[in-house]
Chain A
């Protein structure tokens, strides 16, 4: 499974271009992509998710599974009380810290965001120190490297140099761990095939196997974690569907499971609790031996209950 957790989206993006990008990313072999909406600091009072949804139908051309993600430009760590609401409206939430304090807070404190996405092609006002970076990686927060910014013909030599320098710093601080590679493509020409991406970041100093991980396992970890956080209860139980009456409950549960799979396997490794209780009464999957045992137990109960009544 290959992931591309950042395809830029804004209200002005033309749907044709977006669809083209998605179809091309499917043909390059990406399985899950996330459309990214960048939000500047004052979070609007009414949080809504403007990213369009793409219903999958068998007749339409194949598209990857599409997640919806928000990136918050984050400069003031004191204003974080609305982040949970923002996180609940989107499938993924990333932070783009603008100052050193914000970076520290994003690394150490903020629970809702699982990605730190920095604009590496501009000079950052802080250094990556190993301690907060490694703390973030141990907490499960991943750092994102977006490569489309350097690939576009508009990028000048200075921006490229800054980008490579920043990547080298980031690799030094995290020792290559906890990196996620994504495109942040604004058009179809910003996308590259997975092998090309791995080679590119290898040239920039990321170890090869870490780069492969950044396209697959690390990105999957983020998606699955976020999925569990939104649908599950404390990461232990995942409700994938509610039991209805009889066979209906079963069918629902099945569908729910498949949906979970589509959302990046959120339902795959979770405990299913919503097994139709009423459904089991209608068609008992018991063997004869078990049925006999049950009957015997019931009889015993009756007898003992009668005894108790007599004693009373």
Chain B
């Protein structure tokens, strides 16, 4: 039996444009602030598909077509999501994510998508997400930057 190989991308949404505007809040908290609730999995997928089509044309859109791209988890509170793509096309998706400059909703805030983990199984991506969330809390408590 041949498995369909996949890649899970764990992505953080960062908001660097507001650093320094709030003097009492540490940088970590400002950068990792919550995302707007308008960003639903459907909207996010549409944004990524559009960017892939923009960058890689029909070939790219074809590669991520057929249910191979989906949002497995999206948390607006921690600005984190997990994407599933096929292994052959994850680099397209990843570079499309690097090219996105704002949240793909109407009047979206400027942001940066940072892929923090790539793994072959959902479980490892989830564990990493939990670890990162915990580190983030500690970092915010200490008022220091992420290690």
| Chain A residues packing against B (C-beta within 8 Å) | 16, 19-20, 23-24, 26-28, 61-62, 151-153, 188-189, 191-193, 195-197, 199-200, 202-203
Report the separation of the CA atoms of residues A83 and B17 in the bound assembly, to the nearest whole angstrom: 37
What residue of chain B has the Cβ atom nearest to residue A25's Cβ? Answer: B16
Residues of chain A contacted by B99 (CB below 8 angstroms): 151
Minimum CB–CB distance from B56 to chain A (whole Å) comes to 9
Q: Which residues of B contact A189 (CB under 8 A)?
A: 16-17, 101, 110, 112
Interface presence of B95 (CB below 8 A) = yes
| Bound Cα distance from A193 to B13, whole angstroms | 12
Q: With the chains together, A20 CA to B20 CA distance in Å?
A: 7
Question: Is B132 an interface position by the 8 A CB rule?
Answer: no
| CB < 8 Å neighbour of A16 from B20, B27, B97, B101 | B20
Q: What residues of chain A lie closer than 8 Å to B91, measured between beta carbons?
A: 199, 202-203
Assembly CA distance A151 to B144 (angstroms): 29
CB-based contact A20/B115 at 8 Å: no
- Judge whether A24 and B115 touch: CB under 8 Å: no
Q: List 30 A-B contacts (CB under 8 A).
A: A19-B20, A20-B16, A20-B19, A24-B19, A24-B27, A24-B31, A26-B145, A27-B28, A27-B31, A27-B145, A27-B146, A151-B101, A153-B101, A188-B19, A189-B101, A191-B16, A192-B98, A192-B114, A193-B116, A195-B115, A196-B94, A196-B114, A199-B91, A199-B95, A199-B98, A200-B95, A202-B91, A203-B91, A203-B92, A203-B95
Is the beta-carbon distance between A61 and B16 smaller than 8 angstroms?
no
Cα-based distance from A13 to B110 in the complex (angstroms): 20
The residue on A at minimum CB distance from B117 is A195
Is the CB–CB distance between B17 and A188 below 8 Å?
A: yes
Give chain B nearest CB distance to A293 CB in angstroms: 51
Q: Which residue on B lies nearest to A202, using beta carbons? A: B91
Complex-state Cα separation, A152 to B102, whole angstroms: 11
Taking CB atoms and an 8 Å cut-off, the chain B residues in 1-34 that contact chain A are: 16-17, 19-20, 27-28, 31
Find out whether the CB atom of A27 lies under 8 angstroms from the CB atom of B27. yes
Asked whether B98 lies within 8 Å of A23 as measured between CB atoms, the reply is no
Interface residues on B, range: 20 to 34
Which one of B98, B115, B145 has the greatest number of beta carbons of chain A within 10 Å?
B98
Bound Cα distance from A202 to B91, whole angstroms: 9
Q: Please, how many angstroms separate the alpha-carbon atoms of A20 and B22 in the complex?
A: 12
Question: A61 contacts which chain B residues (CB < 8 A)?
Answer: 27, 145
A200 CA / B112 CA spacing, docked (Å): 14
Contacts of B16 in A (CB 8 A): 20, 24, 188-189, 191
A23 touches B20 (CB 8 A): yes
Look across to chain B and name the residue whose beta carbon is closest to the beta carbon of A26.
B145
Closest A residue to B143 using CB positions: A61
Given A153-B101, A188-B19, 9 new contacts (CB under 8 A) = A19-B20, A23-B20, A27-B28, A61-B27, A151-B101, A191-B112, A196-B115, A197-B98, A200-B95
Distance in Å from the Cβ of B81 to the closest Cβ of chain A? 15
Q: How far is the CB of A107 from chain B (nearest CB, A)?
A: 30
CB distance from B15 to the nearest CB of A (A): 10
A49: shortest Cβ distance to chain B, in Å? 25
Q: Could you say which residues of chain A place their CB within 8 Å of the CB of B28?
A: 27
Note all chain A residues with C-beta closer than 8 A to B19. Answer: 20, 23-24, 188
Nearest neighbor of A62 in chain B, beta-carbon distance: B145
Given the complex of chains A and B, what is the CA–CA distance between A199 and B115 in angstroms?
10
Chain B, 61-103, contact with A by CB distance < 8 Å: what is the 0/1 string? 0000000000000000000000000000001101101110100
Contacts of A20 in B (CB 8 A): 16-17, 19-20
The 7 closest A-B pairs by CB, nearest first: A24-B16, A188-B16, A193-B114, A20-B19, A196-B98, A203-B95, A27-B145
- Complex contact A151–B98 (CB within 8 A): yes
Residues of B contacting A153 in the complex (Cβ-Cβ under 8 angstroms)? 101
A199 surroundings in chain B (CB, below 8 A): 91, 94-95, 98, 115
Closest to B92 in A: A203
Give the residue name and chain of the A residue nearest to B28 (CB): A27
